[in-house]
A and B are shown apart, each in its own frame.
Chain A
Amino acid sequence: MSALTCHVAPAAADATCPRIVLVGNPNVGKSTLFNGLTGLRALTTNYPGATVDVAVGIAADGGMRVQIVDLPGTYGLTGADGDQRTAWESILRDPPHAVVAVVDGMNLARNLYLVLQLIDLGFRVVVALNMADEMQREGIRIDAARLGALLGVPVHSTVATKRTGLREVLRAAVSSRATPARIHRYAPEIERAVEAIAAESSVPEAFLLLEGMGGRRGGEAPQLSPRASTALARLEDASGGRGSIAVAAGRHSAAERIAKAVCAGTADLRRRAAWRAATHPWTGLPILAGVLGTIFAVLFWGGTFLSALTDRLWAAAVSPLIRAAVAAVAGAGPLGRTILWAADAGVNALVSIGLPYVLVFYVILAVLEDTGYMNAAAVLLDRPLSRIGLTGRAAIPLVAGAGCNVPAILGLRTLRTERERVIAGTLITLVPCSARTAVIVGAVAALAGPGWAVALYLVVALIISAAGWGLNRLLPGGRPTLLMEVFTFRVPAVRTVLAKTWMRVREFVVQAAPIVLAGSLVLGILYETGAIRLATRPLAPVVEGWLGLPAVAGLTLVFAVLRKELALQLLLALAVVEYGRGAGSLLAFMTPAQIFTYALVNTIYIPCAATMAILGKALGWRRAAAISAGTVALAVAAGGVAARVLALLAR
């Protein structure tokens, strides 16, 4: 119960359950450290800003429970948008018991900038000097004790991937009582300005003000006395600009002095040749096309293989058992048949259509993320994406959208402007997620042929580009710009890939299963009672008249708002009831052209219920509603056009 208290009321629970916040630059192993401390598995990614949602977990120090908060990676607390704002807002508004600053010894000086800023802002800081093993391999030695003495805070070496040193860090954080003593380490004009302002408030308040964060703690920026104003003006004069830039420069040089005093050896970017090839347009675009082609091929062959396998296993081993069990409990009448819609056909569809494709996609995505390829793709795609009002950073959520739109929309927080978030958010809802891919591959590729599936993807890509181009023209606002750290490739760790895949697939099953079962049950009731004929009637003009599809297919499209793969699952369930077991029976009442139109409409119209909910949270309900309505119109228009073009071609 106390664990729950810690989750729900972090501020109130401080006395019994100290809150420790993890802060650090992106890609320093912070999330791995979090996993090691809490036993939970927050996703860690070789991409800046992957931890978009604040992860919270509970660790134990002796008999004491400690709440651990994993903030998004940040370089400093002064950045005004996206990740960085989320990070500093939360810890400034609600100061934790202590902050663990996770530091990458491979780039010590820049990492220390954030540590110094945290100390200046009055936090109790413990430094986790991470990647100790990698530093040893690279011949970098850091004197941790000396570093601690120079910073005035405890420093502990850790290897997060091997869970070394984590206990010591946690113990030091929990037992820290006093804020670090103030060390005067900056240029005289900075120190004078800090002192003058601090005389009326405090040192942390002085730094907040100097760095342009004054008043961001919730209140107004304080009125300055004449003495403080003079000191501030002198600092701005001396630096020839804003106070925050002068403080940043002073802090960087202090960080470098400290780093030089404790550190021997330097690291360089590895695997640069491969990186250059992946980011140069002439080689990078073919490589990207190759990667996308591989994803599709693996999804098609791997997903289809797994799908057929589970389907056969289900029919041979599981289905008869369920049928027998349901018959024993509910009989063979309408009630039993209705239950079978969910218990047999619904679950069968989930494990043989949804799961195989999701599983395969998430393995691929985890490998791409962990190698750092997504980082190279962001650099490569920055220019093309700028044509639709985005930056290279948007490449990551857009590609992640091909797995599931929901986490992709959460990833919008890594984008720096609201305009980018609106455009990317809209486009993500059009990206065929693995559920829609299941329909495209499972129906179009399997029954109409792989060529049809490729054509469908091209049509969707064209629609996404056109929508992006249109939004970029319609929405007011300026050109976005890319600013991100570059990481080279690394060999993916099997453990990380498997852990990530497991996390995501588990989440998919937890979300999908109840909706698929409930949807199947409702459809079963409609079918067994005969109400389905009435329910399909209002849709007939659009579905039969304009799209040229069987009316019952339109009904499954409506149900697919719950989950997109439900469309095909319900259609197959209907087919099984109507025409006998096996996906091939879909061809008994739909032509390849109809299957194409059906999958196209299903791909484009309204994101699923979960996506709409998360979109409403991320961009506001009015925008979410507008985007949903827009996609319905787009889907009906595109589907009607496709049906007519295909009819012409068939002639």
Chain B
Amino acid sequence: MSSVRVPLSSLRPGSRAVVAALPPDAATADELAALRVLPGEEIEVTQVIALGGPVLIRGAGGFYAIGRGLAELLLVEP
């Protein structure tokens, strides 16, 4: 198990990673948790909208668009 934590925003399309830490804001963390974007869950980056657009991920819960700002706060282990 790799221990390098990087922001979700740094991943390229097609890469997989395991969620390591949710953003500090409790409400946002709860919202992600309800979507099953949780520590320990695997996700795949399916698309990154160019020019600072959202990161699109596929998790066990479904397909989601995550704004770049939020993707910078969501830490993952590639």
Contacts and interface: CB of A to CB of B under 8 A. Distances in A.
A75 interface: yes
B75 interface: no
A279 B47 CA distance: 9
A390 to B, nearest CB: 11
B50 A281 contact: yes
Contact of B40 (A78, A249, A480): A249
A248 B40 CA distance: 12
Interface string A210-223: 01100000000000
Given A110-B62, A279-B47, A479 B29 contact: no
B36 interface: yes
B33 A485 contact: no
B53 A78 contact: no
A256 B56 CA distance: 22
Interface of A: 75-76, 78-81, 84, 107, 109-110, 113-114, 211-212, 240-242, 244-245, 248-249, 252, 256, 269, 276, 279-282, 378-380, 382-383, 386, 391-392, 479-487
B53 A483 contact: no
A386 B26 contact: no
A241 B49 CA distance: 31
Given A110-B61, A486-B64, A379 B56 contact: yes
Contacts of A392: 54, 65, 67
A248 B33 contact: yes
B69 A280 contact: no
B28 A483 contact: yes
A281 B30 contact: no
A383 B27 contact: no
A280 B47 CA distance: 9
B61 A212 contact: no
B22 to A, nearest CB: 7
B49 A382 contact: yes
Contacts of A276: 47
Contact of B64 (A78, A79, A245, A485): A485
Contacts of A249: 33, 38-40
A244 B30 contact: yes
Contact of A75 (B34, B38, B67): B34
Nearest to B70: A481
Interface in B25-78: 26-36, 38-41, 47, 49-54, 56, 60-70
A382 B35 contact: no
Contacts of A281: 49-51, 53
Contact of A252 (B31, B61, B64, B70): B61
B53 A382 contact: yes
Give the top 4 A-B pairs by smallest Cβ distance, nearest first: A76-B34, A482-B67, A80-B27, A248-B33
B38 A380 contact: no
Contacts of A256: 60
22 contacts: A78-B30, A79-B27, A79-B31, A84-B31, A107-B61, A110-B60, A113-B36, A113-B61, A114-B34, A245-B30, A245-B38, A245-B39, A248-B38, A252-B61, A379-B54, A380-B49, A383-B52, A481-B69, A482-B66, A483-B32, A483-B64, A483-B66
A78 B53 CA distance: 27
A242 B28 CA distance: 13
Nearest to B63: A486
Contacts of B39: 240-241, 245, 249
Given A75-B34, A241-B22, A245-B38, 11 more contacts: A80-B26, A110-B61, A248-B33, A249-B38, A281-B51, A383-B49, A383-B52, A386-B69, A481-B69, A482-B70, A483-B65
B36 to A, nearest CB: 5
Contacts of A480: 67, 69
A486 B51 CA distance: 19
Nearest to A75: B34
A79 B25 CA distance: 11
A383 B26 contact: no
Most buried by A among B38, B47, B52, B61: B61
A485 B27 contact: no
A479 B69 CA distance: 8
A629 B56 CA distance: 41
B55 to A, nearest CB: 10
Most buried by A among B28, B36, B38: B36
